[in-house]
Structure 1
Amino acid sequence: MLQTKFFQIPSFDDIELNIQRQSLLNFRIDYDDEKEVKAIVFLLPGLGSDINDTYQNKLIYRVLENHDVICVSVNYFCVHCRPQNGAKLILDEFDKNIIATICNTCQIDINNKYFNSHKDVLKFLDAEITELKSKNKLPKDKLIDVSLTCEPPNEEYQNFGIMQALDCLQVLSYIKTNHNLFTSKNTGGGDLTQLPTILVGSSHGGYVSHLMAKLMPWEIDGVIDNSSYAKAFLPLIGFTKEINFIKYSEAFDINSRFANLKLNFFTKTHFTSNPSSPRYFSKAHYRIRNILDEEHLQIQAQYPRPIYRSYHSVYDTRIAPPEDKIQLYELLKKLGFDAHLTIIKNKDQIDGKFIKNLEHGMGMSLKTLINKELPTMLEKISKQKKKTNVKKITYPSENLIYTFQKSEYDFPQFFLKSF
């Protein structure tokens, strides 16, 4: 019989920016208590439609129907960063300054006016621009760029990668050390310590999967990925609007509600592009978040090596450049990892079921991806001898040293030092 259980646990503060976390970490486990469990499978969502509960429930049901596994789903830090999944659109101080600059340039009087929401501001601005166009003071086809901020719930923000990967590793340790969470045919009281751990994700979920394997490689046995980025995609972090809010937007929208405006969206973050700020997003922060970093991969290769399987479109040039992914997988193989990347490059590879297009994510069916890759991956893992007494890894990153390890109670720890 299918079982679902939900949990809330504490997780990591933001050690890099010295910010105390305000939210608890939510996750769920799903399993069939009549089956002999053979693996722990994390289903890691990206930042889009695959966070949808209906989609998630259908995927979990199909996975449990076809495979003898436990499915783990984690609402990792800042996963709800889109308006369609819980984020609120606001105008932060930067956004307000953009509006003020536009009004000053176009001689629009916005002083002493009160607005209840960002929608009221945009509606006012749109109407004023319509008036200017009617007087031939602006070209009829002119679009005015503005910036908007997506504010996640629960006082979360975009840390990008580190806290998200640590959240998932925290969940993994929690379910492995708490044997009374569930019962199943072969585990009795629920001892999962000897089961392999497989990570499955699309786009950002695939990126988090790769990063988990980087931060604690001894914990992860396999990664099944669709369209993740090999390097941190900076517009997703939020601070790039300080550099150029038009060129480096996370996403943009042109719609009939505000016919004269182009809306450029960014996720709330505490990182900044200002080198004099203690919250400056430095090269050190960038490198630790990159999967494609040769020095770091050489360090990771000294530990148990997960198996990697990935699919990527050759036309995914903005969000996840394929040349980075190709270089990453060539380097993984060179370092002795069992890693294979399938590049999708031709329209004849679109079958309408597994692969639906050549854009980012390829509209890929995760159910089909899992059915295709999971059985052979588990067979390979069963033949491996994976033992490690060292559960500590250190990555030098410019002027910072990142250390990730297991505590005496087998929970993840993160230490950061400067030099």
Structure 2
Amino acid sequence: MSMSTGPAGPLRFPRDFGWGAATSAYQIEGAAKEDGRGESVWDTFSRTPGRTRNGDTGDVAVDHYHRYADDLDLMRDLGLRSYRFSISWPRIQPDGTGAPNQRGLDFYRRLLDGLHERGIAPMATLYHWDLPQALQDAGGWESRDTAHRFADYADALFHALGDRVPVWLTINEPKTVVQNGYLTGHHAPGRQDPDAAYLVAHHLQLAHGLAVHALRATGGTGRIGPAFNLHPCYPADDSPEAAAAARLLDGYENRLYLDSALRGSYPQDVLADLGPQSRMVGGIRDGDLAVISAPVDLLAVQYYTPIYVSADGGTERRWPTSEAEWQQIYPDGMYDTLTRVTRDYGPIPLTVTENGLPTPDTLAADGTVDDPGRISFLRDHLAAAHQAIAAGVPLESFHVWSLLDNFEWDQGYDQRWGLIYVDYPTQRRVLKRSAHWYRSVIADGGF
């Protein structure tokens, strides 16, 4: 493929590149009590006073459950070739077990059929953090049994929807569940228990592997892989202490998930740091890593921010942040992340399934939304992805986070991440300037 680089000429992506956008069920669907949907940990968490900004919940979100056909038309109008979304586990199994809820399946059938009718390839995520509350009550991801319940849920979806889904992603950002759900407590289930956190990490990885095995057992033709948010960890100075601290943090941020899924082993430095008495080390059984490392067809990479690690193991800020204070804007980290995966783990096909930022978007009197910060962010990160392709990275597609403004977890509705502005009181959708820009990028195959 011929691609020009540099300031003189346009950046052209491969002709079959999968230009996309991404969402997740709890953040957009709403309809929290409709058509047999059960309670999730995020229903419980967001309804608990003090847990979310302004007490916001996903009860209504952006009402995608009822407005999906109009949203599909917007995707078509943007020219999207790929749409990455998630399936709500409590919509399919209200209590996390048993026969699937037909009304829940029917919603996703309608969504998938609508995508195919518009020429948009579906990419379905099995789990984007909305664990059925009944399973949480039985121990949640601290319980090994939850990984097996997840495999049953996945199997039900493969049989019901497999003919319509070309790409499945298993678990979205297990690291965020571990860190935000069990270390800081900022996300559901809102725990602060480091010993539980890494047992949860193991069970999430086990659930991923069991789902891969379940898909293979159906004989289906769909592709499958995990979705990891990867944070490049750089030493904050030239000292050997900073290098060692950055290496260990890289183990917790990246290799814990990459090594187990793609190499069949947990990084020894992380296991040693956790110690032999840790619940995670004690929870690893014979054969688990063979299950976790079941061969996958692709790896979904989500990149938002780098981490700079000082000699004492602390972190430093080096670059301007977005409205999300944890996010440093550093496009070169996209290149470093993609090339690192290919270098360290071989030529596994890659997809970027999330990249974006929140900006202070307002609806102007003339009905437009101008978000120049998002355009420059996406342009710079797409240029870094293009550079990675030129360096030999087998990157197939790129999904902007997010298609729509939505419920941003503990931040409620204060942060707007979408290409499409949502006026929450009316649910009116307005294409931001970034959406018009992205549409032209897709039409031109680059910029």
TM-score of the two chains, using structure 2 as the length reference: 0.29
Structure (1/2) with the larger helix percentage:
2
Q: Which structure exhibits the higher relative contact order, with contacts defined as CA atoms closer than 8 Å and separated by 6 or more residues? A: 2
Structure (1/2) with the larger strand percentage:
1
TM-score of the two chains, using structure 1 as the length reference: 0.31
